[in-house]
Amino acid sequence: MSPTPLPESKHSQRIMALVVVPTMKNAYHHLKDFVAIQPSMGLMSIGASVETSSRTAVIIDGDAEELTFNQTAERIVVPQPDYVGATVMTATMNPTCNFFKALKARLPQAPAIVGGLLQTLP
């Protein structure tokens, strides 16, 4: 059985935006004041896989860059990605859902791909 082909892209090369939705203030109450923000290893791994398949990955870390929801969305919209991916944890579920609802109005053609520990549990 052959895989289902992806829809045609408006780009000569597919672009996937991988985002860390800025939830540090909302979900963790300024946790960054007490701990270092580490790069998202999951998103970096996905980005590396995307790029080895002759596609482009754009990683935007809203928390590390201290971006607002709107600034993060603007950064995602600029390259006009074909897909937008994010990692979600229980504490960030609501803000992330709200973020993607607002982003969908700006990028209606780009499917959201969300993953994380919560989504992988049986």
Q: Which fold has domain 15-120?
A: Rossmann fold (3.40.50)
Q: What is residue 74's predicted lDDT score, i.e. its pLDDT?
A: 94
pLDDT attached to residue 31? 60
C-alpha–C-alpha distance, residues 26 and 119, integer Å: 21
SS3 (DSSP) at 71 = helix
Residues contacting 33, CB < 8 A, separation 6+: none
C-beta of residue 95 within 8 angstroms of C-beta of residue 19: no
Whole-structure pTM value:
0.74
pLDDT tens for the chain, residues 1 to 122? 444 444 454 555 688 888 888 776 655 555 666 666 677 788 888 888 888 888 899 999 888 888 889 999 999 999 999 999 998 888 788 888 999 999 999 999 999 988 877 656 55
